[in-house]
Amino acid sequence: MLRGATRRLLLRGLRGPRHPAALAAAAGSAVCIWSQSAACCEPEPTFTAAEVAAHASMADGVWVTLGDGVYDVTEFVRHHPGGDHILAAGGGPLEPLWAQWQVHLTSRVMGHLQPLRIGRLAPADRLSGLYNIADPYDDEPERDGRLGVLGARPFDSETAREVLATAFWTPQHLFYVRNHLPAPRIDEDEHRLTLDWGGGRRRSFSVRELREELPQATLHATLQCTGNRCDEVEPSAAGGIGQIGNAWWEGVRVRDLLALRPPGEGGDGEARDGKPGGDAAGTLHLHATGCDGYEVSIPLEKVLDARGDVLLAHSMNGEPLSRDHGAPLRLLAPGFVGARSVKWLQHLAVRPEESGSVWQKRYYRMFPPWVRDLCDIDYDDGDVPPVYEFPVQSAIVSPAAGDVVTLGDDGALEARGYAVSGAGQRIVSVRLSTDGGESWRNATLLGLPPPAPPEHGRNWSWVLWRARVPVPPGAREVTLCCKAIDSAYNTQPERADYNLRGYLSNASPKVAVSVERAVPRCGGG
């Protein structure tokens, strides 16, 4: 289950020369919480590295060390969002693994680990001075300072409000980036995309072939992170309204690639109704794997659908993809959450089951509101389906909460924002209210002008909106709220249910501002 890059890093960490400074640099401020002992009054038992090493499997129990602590994580493995990736550190230190997976460097993760502490690591066996962990994040791309950073390693960021409010096409360097691992650096002359239809039928493509020899298509599509607005559902999550952007993409339709299937029979790819084969239930999935090791799958029907518009993109807003956006190739599954649009794409495979990756099976699924803790999750619950399409969404970009807003002569405030729906549905209205939803007025929608309206059910691009909203006379504070309505007349809920990952947060937005009236002009009788 352990991906190549992680395994290589781990082995390098375990075998190479060891320098604590490098480890501390990789881990940053998290070092301070690593050395906390569990608060207890009796002296803890002490274990040697050899004793820890004897617990490296589910059969023998899984012990790990972190700083001076020894932890028995055997029971936690089944709750671990990363699944049995944790076994890579079984019987030894977590530090090398976590240098790669720095999402663990949070007090929340430490909160899960602390109760599992069973003792102290013998001082002679502690890592100090022993490890040299090459920092997997030492070759990250240069990034524009206007991106709002939500997480540094892996890089997680949002589009700035001033960009959201004004740019229909979000410039690539200002477009939110949400990586799961270090950003790979790929030599595009060497890179090949392999496509596996199953049954031993495979083919690989160079980037040049994909760019120059196959029919090219253009797609107008909004990308939105599954966790956009996550902080409104799960306050401990880092997020805002900016994990979204809109671009035009160029590349090859994945259905055109699938049509290049070499002849052959048997395996997953058996021909069935003119489509690549299938299991008994007839459901097929396209697995997509990036060079960083990230992998998810999407239903093959979305890809085969002539109106599904799934693209293998090499270009964004007329420029080649940047490293942070998946250069040289990424998937683009419009109307689906961004997590399905795999970057640095190196492998596509048709399979009769969903991907078994942790991102498919343990993330990017919608857990019900009563699951409040990692240990409450039942990953085998068949009633917890993966997230593909996203629901109708909008945000008030301007004003922001807490702003002091000066009203115009008309007694109204100016508001701006965006709205978009998944599944190809068009936004038909965005409505605003300053009286808690008792009355509403329409915003003006600023989409793409005709004569290029998308076909019915193929609206993948957001609209920006503007409105002048009257404020009740005399009001000094006002809560502005909005809601979008899409072409299936779905609308945003008054409040969104809790889910522990903060996914698909789309409640009707509310922004409380203070109001100043314009100073009357001089003049008159």
Output the smallest distance, CB 401 to a second copy, in A.
22
How far from the centroid of its chain's Cα atoms is residue 316's Cα? Answer: 19
CB nearer a second copy, residue 102 or residue 492: 492
Catalytic residue, from 3, 18, 80, 261: name it.
Answer: 80
What is the binding site for a second copy (CB under 8 A)?
280-283, 299, 301-302, 305-307, 366, 368-370, 383, 385, 387-392, 421-423, 425, 428-429, 431, 439-442, 450-451, 453, 455-458, 487-495, 497, 504, 506
- Give the span between the Cα atoms of 214 and 308, in whole angstroms: 19
Amino acid identity, position 138: D
CB nearer a second copy, residue 114 or residue 216: 216
Output the smallest distance, CB 498 to a second copy, in A.
10
CB nearer a second copy, residue 208 or residue 456: 456
Active site residue 365: no
CB nearer a second copy, residue 96 or residue 308: 308
Catalytic residue, from 3, 225, 347, 482: name it.
Answer: 225
DSSP element (H, E) containing 256: helix 254-258
Active site residue 173: no
CB nearer a second copy, residue 65 or residue 459: 459
Question: b/e for 135-162, b at 16 or more Cβ within 10 A?
Answer: bbbeebeebeeebbebbebbbbbbbbbe
Largest CA distance in the chain: 94
Catalytic residue, from 18, 112, 161, 178: name it.
Answer: 178
For residues 203 and 194, the answer to whether their CB atoms sit within 8 Å is: yes
Output the smallest distance, CB 303 to a second copy, in A.
10
Q: Which long-range contacts link 57-63 to residues 24+ away (Cβ below 8 Å)?
A: 57/87, 57/90, 58/87, 62/86, 62/87, 62/90, 62/91, 63/90, 63/91, 63/118
Q: What is the DSSP string of 1-66?
A: ---HHHHHHHHHHHHS---HHHHHHHHGGGHHHHTPPP--SSPPPEE-HHHHHT-EETTTEEEEEE
Active site residue 80: yes
Output the smallest distance, CB 391 to a second copy, in A.
4
Output the smallest distance, CB 226 to a second copy, in A.
10
Active site residue 7: no
Active site residue 261: no
- Give the span between the Cα atoms of 80 and 353, in whole angstroms: 22
Catalytic residues: 80, 104, 178, 225, 364
